[in-house]
Structure 1
Amino acid sequence: MSGPPPPYAEGHASGHGRVFQSAGDQHITEHHHHAHHYAPGPGASLFAGTTTPGPGPDSVRVPLVGRAPAVLRDRADLMRRLRTAVGGDSGQIHVLHGMGGCGKTAVAHAVFTESARDGARVGLWVNASERLSLRAGMLAVAADRGAAPGELAAAHSGQRAAADLVWHHLDHSAEPWLLVIDNADDPAILEEGGWLRASPRGTVLVTTRYATSRAWRGAVLHPVGVLPTEDAAQVLCDLAPHAGTPAAAEQVALRLGCLPLALTLAGSYLHHQLLESWSMDEYRNRLEADPTGLIDQGAALDSGRPESRHLVSRTWQLSLDALVDQGLPEATTLLRLLSCWSPDPLPLAVLAPASLGATGLLDTTRVEPALRGLLDHSLAAIVSAPGGTDGEQPVRCVQVHGVLLDSVASGTPADQRRALTEAAATLLEAALPADGGVGGGFVALLVPHTVRLLREGDVRTAERVVGLAICLTQRVHETGDYSAALALAQEAAGAAERVLGAEHQLALSALQRAGRSLFRLGRIAESEEVHRRVLRVRERVLGPDHPDTLESCHGLQQPLFRLGRRAEALSLLRRAADGLRSALGVEHPRALRSRAMLIEELATAGDHEEFAQVSPETVVDCERHLGADHPTTLSARHAYAFGVARLGAPEDAEPLTRRVLADRERVQGPTHPMTLGVVVLLSQVVAARERWEEAVELTRRAISGREQALTAESPLLVENYSQVADYLARAGRTAEAESAARAALPLCERVLGPNHPETLRARRVLGI
């Protein structure tokens, strides 16, 4: 366009958008969407009271953010810091950063309102969600601070740098000011025009989803996250006070991940219902079917004009669109993959570029940039998860908010979802450590993600996911967390039965894993029932000599042995050991495990000759084929030490037992249930050698560890209570012995039975 620049026409505000117009320009509507996390109670006005705009050419004095929060929940420390910054020396830039929907604009609005109300500073508000709205808003700020029409026209035509004009008038403002630059989710547009600067006359407050940027150099960064549970529940109670109790509100808040936007939408929905009046409990239950859709209905009921930043189904798409514009479309693929897992911390090792590249979802060179993009836009965070017991190092993880994951999952096409689920299972399999390879903390972190896959999978992915869950159950079991192993095995069995059928081999394998965990937890009768059910089906479907059928024989003999049905148990174990050795070979781990178990039962049966013949050979075979530190090798040596002690040679058993204890402590840790089992054996060995004080201390160590892992009525634990009472009595500590026996006897009678050897032992201590 030739000729002199047209005169500048002042802008004006209209409705929810701010419209700026200059001759030769199209209308630019600047939308201010506010992810508020608190609203006035029922009957309050939809919009907060606003002050009359100042003398500027546009309502940059009024933050058009929809309904303003009347009370800001759990932002006291942040507000204190910002009040100090605004009320003190000027010249600083403060950046509020966090994921979409966490309430950054609400905090900025509160600071802005307080500052303007107190007359301490002139409040100026600009939307930076787009280049045009940022430019128009900043020029309106210049006009507010006294820029003449000719200056504005020169800036518009390019004859004068627009940002320089704005900051010239801000630097020379007669009044101190607070400038809020809201929704600056693309810092590049601030840098390109030089729009972000510090000034001695005022304070700049930026809200952004972008956590790291060169634009923030020298600025004071303030992360804004989700609310604490109590405050999140109070938000719901404030919005819908008649929908339920604080306890019910807390459950809804937890399901929504305490995210302010989701809380606001949920509370608005509950408050504005006309034809139905759900309680908070009903709302929480209905969230399971379609969480994203139900949450977003709160926006329509509240304002009737749901917009992207007000919807959980859309608010994060703004960030993903920005990443696409930055050349990172892979970030969307990665986030969709993450939505297959749970919102719990996911070890970064699962996203190893080589493993992820092998799935075909992402090129190996694009994994790191995609993850960094999600982190930069506050769509994900790096967290450190505890590494478990026994000195295991913390595990670096990535974590994504649950509501965000639900939103992304609901927007992913079904055909892509299946491919993503397959890839998610493959990546967990690749990260799953080999036997004894990684500590229990890392293994435990994989469990909730596997459970999510089990619950979300369909027939096309079920075999892969259930197979993964069974492998993970075994690893969790090996760490000694039998309760977690049982829960995962039951999830896997339920998913397999639901999708594949009750007699599918994966369903039976998952049930067998559940039976083993039940046994270790002392739930012996339940363990027998599960193992017998699996054995019956396998004998009918696979035949009596199939390795899986023989594995069921091995599993069933354990609870039978504990129930005192030793002849049946020994028969099943011989069948398993001989059959697996014949079918799989002497070196196969499954065959060696049954042979290792046979050592203990031969000793218990008092078969000196076969014990002496079988035991040394089995230990040597385990060490040769599995390695000295393999769990089965340790079990074989443990059983051998037990047998030597049982068959009357405690002086020979003690060095064997101490060696096994040292190795279990080194390999599995001092509090592992199998380690504690060796501690009990050693206490019995030293008791047989009449070292009563040492026996007391060892048994108390076992009790202390087992009380952390087992229920109060676990047979193993109850037996230890009786044993320590006996050792105390033999050590001459009569009062302690009688006190321990009085506590143990009712448990022994109830759990073990009136004629069990440990029940009789407790009675002897009491002289009954």
Structure 2
Amino acid sequence: MGGVGKTQLAADYAHTAWKASSDAEGLDVLVWVTAGSRQAIMERYAQAGVELCRADPDDSEEAARTFLAWLTPKPGQRPCRWLVVLDDVADPTDLRGLWPPVSPHGSTLVTTRRRDAALTGEGRRLVKVGLFTMAEAVNYLTRSLAAHGRTEPSDQLTALATELGHLPLALAQAAAYLIDSGESAARYRDLLADEQATALADLAPDALPDEQATTLAATWSLSVARADTLRPAGLARPMLQLAALLDANGIPQDVLTGETARAHLTAHRIGTSPGITAEPAAVSHLDAVRALRVLDRLSLIDHRPDIPQQAVRVHQLIQRTTRDTLTHEQQSQYARTAADALLAAWPDIERDNALTQALHANTEALTRYAEEALHRPDAHEVLHRPGRSLGESGQVIAAINHFDHLVTTTRRYLGPDHPDTLAARHNLAHWRGEAGDAAGAVAALAELLEDRTRVLGSPDHPNILATRHTLARWRGEAGDAAGAVAAFAELLEDRTRVLGSPDHPDILATRHTLVRWRGEAGDATGAVAALAELLEDRTRVLGPDHLDTLATRHNLIFERGEAGDAVGAVAAFAELLEDRTRVLGPDHLDTLVTRHSLAWWRGEAGDAAGAVAALAELLEDRTRVLGPDHLDTLATRHSLAWWRGEAGGCGQCCGCARRAVGGQDTGAGPRPPRHPGDPPHFGPVAGGGGDGIVGKPTD
């Protein structure tokens, strides 16, 4: 059962084995996995695969398989002595295909609350971990109190151990309460017997035996009550209630200390009198951090501020007990507050991979606990954000899967014609196009446009205009550049009429994409003039470092190169690369696109060898960031083959590349991957307007 100390026993075993690593029976490799989900197991296996086997860090499944294969003993190789600890396995099916191999040199230690037959089998030994004996429980309490200069009568400690059911976690928290409060064991027993504790017993989690659950719930409740009396008073419980809806294995500190969380703490601070109308004092950032420290002191959470991406860990049973104390209305309200806090902490430009992974895990946990609340009265934008994050990081298949699931859930909770269901369909169609299925995107968006027009009525609704924008874009990508130009020209007239201000981001975005397709249709000179004018407007309205401004710079440079100024394009792209690296980071998709274009125009300017070197380096980075099968990675391979041929490295590459362009020898190299500077992070809500990709529909 939860709380008996399985993790501590496993940690002691692993620590002892590792300390003996210099001995003949010691370890060479120790891997600890917090196995709360299949994804968590896969990610830690993948990390081990990267660190031990030089596996690809961008293909977690393959890296995990590489690690498991590495554990298998090989003939003729020196035996590797290893221990893999799979801690707190929540579901036996999570281990399907992920059990470490049977080896005479290695061991696997699993801790779990589950008793499924699937966990046992040939070569596995089941060790049941029970409660403390009476002697162990009394000894634990005596030693814990003595370490802080406290003593209690043995009969009181014996009685307390009995009333706590000899459960190690309950004993630990009781000891912490006695030490921090200074109260006696007799007084603590009186509190356990209070009617309030009996009421909490009625809310005990189903997974625990009745008597032990009552005692455990009472212990946690009393610890929370004690925490609320410590400075800053009254914040521990609302903080724990928020944390109870997020990922048990790690919550970013900014999520629980940001403006949204602090507003929650201010509104729900314990001790605020309901009849007082005066506004309560706002909770500061420091107070929020101190509330976490208080919870940590009473062993209700583990707070590690040195790991800000996963600063707060909460035992799942504590989370469950806390959630069970909330009314349905409270849980719904707090779930949307937690969703707001996640969105506030989610950066527009994701440069910290650990933070991004933690935000994904917390959104997944919140959705698991409160999916219906996140769809009432409408679909919260946090449901869309992970899909956008996946797509913009190059994981387009994962983005497709995310939005496909979201279409299903919004349709189930809100109906097929709800604006949020239509928004999810919009995003799903877009990422299908980004995955290479432009024709499929066109078909899906054409159907969506009919449905949005029918449901929303007015052809001037922002979401109808956004769908027209995205549909026109993918028509162009499907090969109809002239049709895209005509559709964007008509859309520009309508958006200008509806929005009025020529500086509206959606109008600027429509101008941007219209110019792009005019260039694709062959009007490079006209595209240069229009982009130069647009760049001035976007710089004035959005600023020089805005992603849309940088996108326009990129396209302007590209079209100038197309118009004949290859040398100027090289110099301008080099300058843009510095700016994009500074603003977005070296691994952002747009930064990689700029590197591709810079390498291409170096070749066009006569430096084929320089283009080959730059593209070879880019191919390594794109493979690392995006994977070997991403369209941009394949495009880099294509361009590299072309310029190797131009540089004289292969008599076939140039011809192969030319034949890939329109099926004939065109005399011109392949263009870089997707059109540069046309990133997929636009939308009336998201802030760019370019492709109408929405977090949720506008009002």
Normalising by the smaller structure, the TM-score range is 0.5 to 0.7
Take 1:619 and 1:140, find their aligned partners in 2: how far apart are those partners? 76
* Distance of aligned partners of 1:454 and 1:578 in 2 relative to their CA distance in 1, 3 Å threshold: farther
Provide the aligned C-alpha RMSD in A.
Answer: 4.7
Match of 1:372 among 293, 298, 318: 293
Q: CA deviation at 1:74?
A: 4.6
1:498 Cα deviation (Å)?
Answer: 2.2
Counterpart for residue 355 of structure 1: 260
Which amino acid in 2 is paired with 1:185? A
- Which residue number corresponds to residue 390 of structure 1? none
In 2, the alpha carbon distance for the partners of 1:460 and 1:761 equals 49
- Give the drift of 1:600: 2.1
- TM-score w.r.t. the length of structure 1 is 0.57
1:76 maps onto 2:20 in alignment: no
| Aligned-partner residue type, residue 504 of structure 2 | H
Could you report, residue by residue, the CA deviation over 1:632-674 in whole angstroms, capped at 9, with x for unpaired residues? 1111111111211223331332222222222211111222111
TM-score w.r.t. the length of structure 2 is: 0.62
**Amino acid across the alignment from 2:663:** N
**Partner residue, 1:605:** 521
Q: Which residue of 2 aligns with 1:136?
A: 153
Q: Which amino acid aligns with 1:469?
A: L
Residues 319 and 377 in structure 1, CA contact (< 8 A), matched pair in contact too:
yes
Query: What are the ranges of 5 or more consecutive residues in structure 2 without an aligned counterpart?
Result: 21-87, 89-110, 114-127, 159-169, 186-202, 270-281, 671-699
Residue 446 of structure 1 aligns with an amino acid whose one-letter code is L
Match of 1:185 among 171, 174, 193: 174
Query: For 1:446, which of 353, 359, 377 is the aligned residue?
Result: 359
The match for 1:579 among 494, 516, 535 is 494
Aligned partners of 2:330 and 2:550: how far apart in 1? 46
Which whole-Å CA distance do the structure 1 matches of 2:606 and 2:477 have between them? Answer: 27
- Contact preservation (8 Å) 1:686, 1:692: yes
Q: Which residue of 1 aligns with 2:376?
A: 462
Partner of 1:323: 227
Task: Please state if 1:535 is matched with 2:535.
Answer: no
- What's the offset of the Cα at 1:697? 1.9
Q: Is the 8 A contact 2:177 2:226 kept in 1?
A: no
Deviations 1:721-766 (A, max 9, x none): 22211211221223xx75x799x99xx99xx89938899989xxxx
* Letter in structure 1 aligned against 2:422: L
Matched, 1:549 2:464: yes
Q: 1:696 and 1:638, CA in 2 relative to 1: closer, same or farther beyond 3 A?
A: same
What corresponds to 1:415 in structure 2? 329
1:507 aligns with 2:421: yes
Kept in 2: contact 1:574–1:598 (CA 8 A): yes
Aligned residue number for residue 332 of structure 1: 237
Pick one of 582, 586, 590 that aligns with 1:674.
590
Q: For 2:548 and 2:293, locate their aligned partners in 1 and report how far apart those are by CA, in whole Å.
A: 43
Task: Give the equivalent residue in structure 1 for 2:569.
Answer: 653
Which one has a bigger Cα radius of gyration?
Answer: 1
C-alpha contact 2:236 2:294 (8 A) present in aligned 1: yes
Report how many residues are paired.
515
Which consecutive unaligned segments of at least 5 residues does structure 1 have? 1-32, 39-68, 84-98, 114-122, 142-180, 197-290, 387-393, 763-768
Alignment match of 2:340 (pick from 426, 437, 458): 426
CA contact 1:454–1:466 (8 Å) conserved in 2: no
Contact 1:385 1:396 (C-alpha < 8 Å) held by counterparts: no
Q: Which has the higher contact order (CA 8 A, sep 6+)?
A: 2
Report the alpha carbon displacement of residue 348 of structure 1 after superposing the two structures with TM: 1.6
**SS of alignment partner, residue 594 of structure 1:** helix
Q: Is 1:732 the equivalent of 2:648?
A: yes
Q: Cα deviation per residue 1:104-126 (whole Å; 9 max; x = unaligned)? A: x989969x98xxxxxxxxx9565
Residues in 2 aligned to 1:194 and 1:497: alpha-carbon distance in whole angstroms: 55
Cα 1:134/1:524, change in 2 over 3 Å: farther
Instruction: Tell me how far 1:516 sits from its aligned partner.
Output: 3.3
Residues 621 and 643 of structure 1, relative CA distance in 2, 3 Å threshold: same
- SS across alignment from 1:75: helix
Q: Call closer, same or farther: CA 1:677–1:578 in 2, change over 3 Å.
A: farther
Matched residue, 1:593 = 509
Q: CA deviation at 1:381?
A: 2.1
Judging changes above 3 Å, is the alpha-carbon distance between structure 1 residues 568 and 539 closer, same or farther for their aligned structure 2 residues?
farther
Name the structure 2 match of 1:146: none
Structure 1's 306 and 596: CA in aligned 2 closer, same or farther, altered over 3 A?
A: same
Q: Residue 608 of structure 2 contacts residue 646 of structure 2 at CA under 8 Å; is this kept in 1?
A: yes
Asked if residue 664 in structure 1 is aligned to residue 580 in structure 2, the reply is yes
Taking structure 1 as reference, are residues 402 and 480 closer, same or farther at Cα in structure 2, changes over 3 Å only?
farther
Alpha-carbon offset, residue 194 of structure 1: 12
- Do 1:650 and 1:688's aligned partners in 2 also have CA atoms closer than 8 Å? yes
Match of residue 723, structure 1, among 615, 639, 642: 639
Equivalent residues of 2:584, 2:591 under 8 A apart: yes
> Contact 2:468 / 2:491 at 8 angstroms: preserved in 1?
yes
Between the aligned partners of 1:459 and 1:188, the Cα distance in structure 2 is: 35
Kindly provide the CA deviation profile for residues 148-172 of structure 1, in whole angstroms up to 9, marking residues without a partner as x.
Answer: xxxxxxxxxxxxxxxxxxxxxxxxx
Query: How many angstroms apart in 1 are the aligned matches of 2:548 and 2:529?
Result: 19
Q: Which residue does the alignment assign to 2:207?
A: 295
How far apart are residue 598 of structure 1 and its match? 2.2
* Inter-partner Cα distance in structure 1 for 2:379 and 2:668: 49
Residue identity opposite 1:647 in structure 2: A
| Distance verdict in 2 for CA 1:510–1:452, change over 3 Å | farther
Distance 1:732 1:376 in 2: 69
Q: Give the match for residue 56 of structure 1.
A: none
Name the stretch that deviates more: 501-510 or 472-481. Answer: 472-481
Match of 2:43 in 1: none
Aligned with 1:728: secondary structure?
Answer: helix
Q: Which amino acid aligns with 2:283?
A: T
Q: Which amino acid aligns with 2:240?
A: L
Deviations 1:47-77 (A, max 9, x none): xxxxxxxxxxxxxxxxxxxxxx9x9545225
- Cα separation, partners in 2 of 1:191 and 1:635, compared to 1, 3 Å: closer
Note closer, same or farther for the CA distance 1:502–1:135 as it changes in structure 2 (3 Å cut): same
Asked if the contact 1:699–1:723 (Cα under 8 Å) also holds between the matched residues in 2, the reply is yes
Deviation at 1:624, TM superposition (A): 0.7
Task: Describe the SS at the equivalent of 1:544.
Answer: coil
Name the SS of the counterpart of 2:545 in structure 1: coil
Q: Is the 8 A contact 1:422 1:461 kept in 2?
A: no
